[in-house]
Amino acid sequence: MNRYPLWKYILVLTVLTVGVIFALPNLFGEDPSVVITTEDGEIPAEETQSEVLSFLEEEGLSPAVHEVLEERWVLRYDSTDRQMRASDMISAKLGRDYSVAMTLVPATPQFLRAIGAEPMFLGLDLRGGVHFLLQVDLDAMINDTLEGYERDIRTLMREERIRYSSIEVSDEQDLRLIFTSEDLRARAEGLISEQVEGIEIDKQPSNGDYLLIVKLDEDDQQEMINLAVQQNVTTLRNRVDELGVAEPIVQRQGSDRIVVQLPGVQDPAQAKEILGATATLEFRFVDHSDFPFTGDPDDPDAVPAGSELFPTRNVEHAGDYVLLERDYIVTGERIIDASSGYDQQTGSPEVNIRLSGTGGRIMNRATRERVGDHMGVLFIERVTETELVDGEPQRVSREIEEVISVARIREALGGRFRITGIDSSEEASNLALLLRAGALAAPIDIVEERTIGPSLGAENVERGFMAVVIGFFLVVAFMAVYYRVFGLVANLALFTNLIIIVAVLSMLQATLTLPGIAGIVLTVGMAVDANVLIFQRIREELKAGTPIQTAIDRGYSKALSTIADANVTTLIAAAMLFIFGTGPVQGFAVTLAIGLATSMFTAIVGTRAVINLIYGGRKVTELKI
């Protein structure tokens, strides 16, 4: 009795070994580092590397270690002060062709990294940084779309000579048309449902008037919202990349919210400036007095009054510079969607653009008389960079203006038009991306903002760690005194449990937050419950005069159903927390659930293995419990 088959011992040992290996990376800590990549995300060339190194040596800022890790060039430092200074110096020296980011790089040894063992990811409350929750203003976007339909329908009514009392966008996010007779309404309904796509029409009796309600089609609207939020995520991600923050998080949350987390960033004002940055687009007519541009770009007289000269980016057939008229036709805010595709007749690549109602109206009026002329798309972006001023790094913001497309106007343009004559499908999809990502698809509001200072973060880690350690030792001491040998075995299980929890969290690459630490601490307190239940049962059996070996066996088997019931009910509570909670509550729920599962394993299977090794299969006269 009380002997495990060999496979059970092997199972326990395997779990323990894997646990130790995957928990190990957390012991090595992290080095403050500067990570350098080229603009295209590649490792800088050898010569650039040695140039940077000798420059740093001159400044007395040589890194402790420099190495290539995961396609990035990493310079490790021993203090954050030196790291920050070095980062400023390097980014000022290398300029905008390189991305220079400050980050903490885990000091995990190579052999652990090789098998994919990485430390847990620390949450913002533990490392400091900024968290934003942004809300996408969908109402504004829907209203803009409805205004577009309003214009289309007005034109339609006029062309077909259907008289109406009024057409207007209501507060209920629909379009209301009022007619004076049933006949007019029926004709209008037939016409609209035939001509306009993506809407639902509803008739409603109203006193004396004949009301027609046009709503956006539910599916269409859902897709539009989806695209807008997705596009905002992309735009924000591009902007965050400009910040040079390591390991940023830009994630969609729910239907219309976006979470942005910037570890290590301490200045929310600067972060907000860049997130809300105005990368805008302008559609302008090309000045044909000198097209393609032949003058000297440095000569101010080469630019006629009323025009401006801009450099071009990847625009074929237009030279390096283009003269555009000073006034714009519409701006990128009017773009609702842009997608790349192929011309159905010629099969050549094209970009389809959809403007908002107002945008389409303005575009139509402006292009009607300029068929045959060229139109240019100007991309304006405000960027913040680090520059060396008198040997001191300083942050400067400046505007970049580039023409990203020049195309001939073949006919009067409206709300939907396309840019053709593009060389490759790749170029077309890039242009579509720029048109889309240039500006935000729908306005965003900051609905939640949390900043944790680095000193507070470090303090949180230290205190959380202390609480775990002290709490753990108090419990261990008590168990050893109260249950003697069995108590020691339980302590072993408790310790193993802690290792396995850390290992599982590391394997899942879960983010450890303060409530997560609390979850671990609580697990330590409650994890002993399973062992307490078992040990009390064994004591009862011994008091009842059961033989020792039988008492151990019955103790375990009788306690099992109680432990299962109790843990399943707690798991139900943890699941509810996870499903209906948000960020920190979810973190707590995950650690609690993992803790429950691992503690069941260590407390039931693990301790039994050790107890069997000590007492199993031999004659025992006294049980130290």
Residues 553-582 interacting with other proteins (rule: CB under 8 A): 561-562, 565-570, 572-577, 579-582
What are the residues whose beta carbons fall under 8 Å from the beta carbon of 171, sequence distance 6 or more? none
Pick the closer one to other proteins by CB: 504 or 592: 592
Cβ-contact 459, 489 below 8 angstroms: no
Answer for which of 249, 536, 597, 605 binds other proteins (CB under 8 A) is 536
Give the footprint of other proteins on residues 76-115 (CB under 8 A): none
Beta carbon nearer to other proteins, 225 or 518 = 518
Query: Given candidates 135, 234, 384, 430, which one binds other proteins under the rule CB under 8 A?
Result: 135
- CA atoms in the 13 A half-sphere facing the CB of 203: 16
Nearer to other proteins, 135 or 384 (CB): 135
Nearer to other proteins, 97 or 459 (CB): 459
Contacts to other proteins from residues 423-462, by CB under 8 A = 445-453, 455-456, 459-460
- Nearest distance from residue 82's CB to other proteins, in Å? 21
- What is the full DSSP assignment across 134-197? EEE-HHHHHHHHHHHHHHHHHHHHHHTT---SEEEE-TTSSEEEEESSHHHHHHHHHHHHHH--
Give Cα 525 to chain centroid, integer Å.
35
- If one asks whether residue 547 binds other proteins (CB under 8 A), the answer comes out as no
- Site size toward other proteins (CB under 8 A) is 75
Question: Which parts of 580-599 interact with other proteins (CB under 8 A)?
Answer: 580-582, 584-585, 588, 592
- C-beta of residue 132 within 8 angstroms of C-beta of residue 276: no
Please report how close the Cβ of residue 334 comes to other proteins at its closest, in angstroms.
Answer: 26
Read off the amino acid at residue 311.
Answer: P
Residues in contact with other proteins, shown as a per-residue x/- string from 482 to 521 under the rule CB under 8 A: x-x-----------------------------xx--xx-x
Question: Shortest Cβ distance from residue 135 to other proteins (Å)?
Answer: 8
- 64 makes contact with other proteins (CB under 8 A): no
- Give me the phi and psi of 498, to 5 degrees please: -60, -45
Q: Which residues, numbered 265-284, are part of the site for other proteins (CB under 8 A)? A: 268-269, 272
Separation CA 506–CA 557 (nearest Å): 33
Residue 89 or 596 with smaller CB distance to other proteins: 596
* Interaction of residue 620 with other proteins, rule CB under 8 A: no
Q: What are the residues whose beta carbons fall under 8 Å from the beta carbon of 151, sequence distance 6 or more?
A: 357, 358, 360, 361
Report the distance separating Cα 331 and Cα 310, nearest Å.
17
DSSP letter at 115?
T
**H or E stretch including 518?**
helix 514-543
Site string for other proteins, 222-261 (x = CB under 8 A): ----------------------------------------
Core vs surface per residue 295-334: b (16+ CB within 10 A) or e:
eeeeeeeebeeebebbebeebeebeebbbbbeebbbbbbb
Enumerate residues 363-422 that contact other proteins by CB under 8 A.
none
CA distance 355 to 109: 54
- Using the contact rule CB under 8 A, the part of the chain among 145-153, 341-349, 420-428, 530-538 near other proteins is 530-538
Using rule CB under 8 A, residue 538 touches other proteins: no
- Is residue 526 near other proteins by the rule CB under 8 A? yes
| Residue number with CB closer to other proteins (284 or 537) | 537
Q: Residue 537 in 3-state DSSP?
A: helix
Q: Of 46, 171, 347, 543, which one interacts with other proteins (CB under 8 A)?
A: 543
- Is 333:313 a contact under the CB 8 Å cutoff? no
Of the pair 238, 570, the CB lying nearest other proteins is at: 570
Instruction: Please give the distance of CA 287 from its chain centroid, rounded to a whole number.
Output: 42
Taking CB under 8 A as the criterion, which residues in 325-344 touch other proteins? none
161-180 binders of other proteins (CB under 8 A): none
Alpha-carbon distance values, 498 to 7, 515, 517, 529, 604 (Å): 23, 16, 11, 15, 15
312 secondary structure, DSSP code: B
Q: Are 97 and 64 in contact (CB under 8 A)?
A: no
Q: Which two tokens stand for residue 281?
A: 């687009």
Element spanning 128, H or E = none
Closest approach, Cβ 266 to other proteins, in A, equals: 8
Given 51, 178, 529, 614, the residue binding other proteins (CB under 8 A) = 529
Q: Is the peptide bond before 393 cis (omega within 30 degrees of 0)?
A: no
Q: Which of 528, 590, 604, 609 binds other proteins (CB under 8 A)?
A: 528
User: In this chain, which stretch among 105-113, 170-178, 207-215, 523-531 interacts with other proteins, using CB under 8 A?
Assistant: 523-531
Binder of other proteins out of 31, 125, 144, 147 (CB under 8 A):
125
